[in-house]
A and B are shown apart, each in its own frame.
Chain A
């Protein structure tokens, strides 16, 4: 596709349920980022994939959060046993090489009720 695609665009889930958020990066981009942004706040780093390097998971807020990137392309962010504080916009971005600009998807707005 022409840009970074995220799905779903909106997700409402009940507390305690698991959710999966998907990111399709720009084809050929080696770097992929997941961020979380709460209303009116900055970008909270979650996880960073770069090529074949081990992902930097240092931003994942708890062990309920995990992410994988299959075949160096699509990435899935999974949140288990969702809590109300997980409600936020989850943003994915990709870039084609180290030091290049990142392009962002439209985000997934997650609401935990």
Chain B
């Protein structure tokens, strides 16, 4: 069973639009961690954020914000006023005790920001 689902394969928006990337996860653990990573066209994977299961507070970092909702098992990522430099593939991941904290990855969402 897929544990991390990123249903949006590709999203294309015009610069300055807001965009939300969805991530739905599945776990039976009460202690787990969720992550978002960015992979720009250059290829390196860049860590963006880590949340633990006990902290449902939303987080904002500049134009980026994350909405963690345990009730819906979702950890969505919103980019406000998108810029061309935000174009990348974004991956959501889950780490849980049952899997010895191995990272379990979503398939990724390709985000295209058009000028």
Q: Which residues of A approach B to under 8 Å, CB–CB?
A: 31, 33, 42-43, 45, 48, 50, 53, 56, 89, 91, 93, 97-104, 106-107
Q: Which residues of A contact B108 (CB under 8 A)?
A: 42-43
Contact B95 A48 (CB under 8 A): no
Interface size class of B (residues with CB under 8 A): 20 to 34
Contact B97 A102 (CB under 8 A): no
B103 within 8 A of A: yes
- Chain A residues with CB below 8 A from B35, complex form: 101-102
Tell me whether A48 and B102 are in contact (CB under 8 A): yes
CA A48 to CA B104, docked complex, whole Å: 11
Stretch at the interface among B13-21, B43-51, B65-73: B43-51
- B74 within 8 Å of A (CB atoms): no
- State whether B101 touches A50 (Cβ < 8 A): yes
A19 to B95, CA, bound (A): 31
Chain B: which residue is nearest A91 at the CB level? B45
C-beta contact mask, B90-115 vs A, less than 8 Å → 1, else 0? 01000101001111011110000000
Given contacts A104-B44, A106-B44, contact A99 B100 (CB under 8 A): no
Q: Per-residue 0/1 for B36-55: is the Cβ within 8 Å of any A Cβ (1 yes, 0 no)?
A: 00000001110100101000
For this complex, 12 residue pairs linking A to B, each with C-beta atoms less than 8 Å apart, are A31-B101, A42-B106, A43-B105, A45-B102, A48-B102, A50-B100, A91-B45, A97-B101, A98-B101, A102-B103, A103-B47, A104-B45
Q: How far is the CB of A25 from chain B (nearest CB, A)?
A: 14
Task: Evaluate whether A42 and B44 lie within 8 angstroms (CB atoms) in the complex, with A53-B100, A98-B97, A101-B50 already known.
Answer: no
Is A42 in contact with B107, judged by CB distance below 8 angstroms? Answer: yes
Instruction: Enumerate chain A residues within 8 angstroms of B43, measured Cβ to Cβ.
Output: 89, 106-107
Q: Does B33 contact A (CB under 8 A)?
A: yes
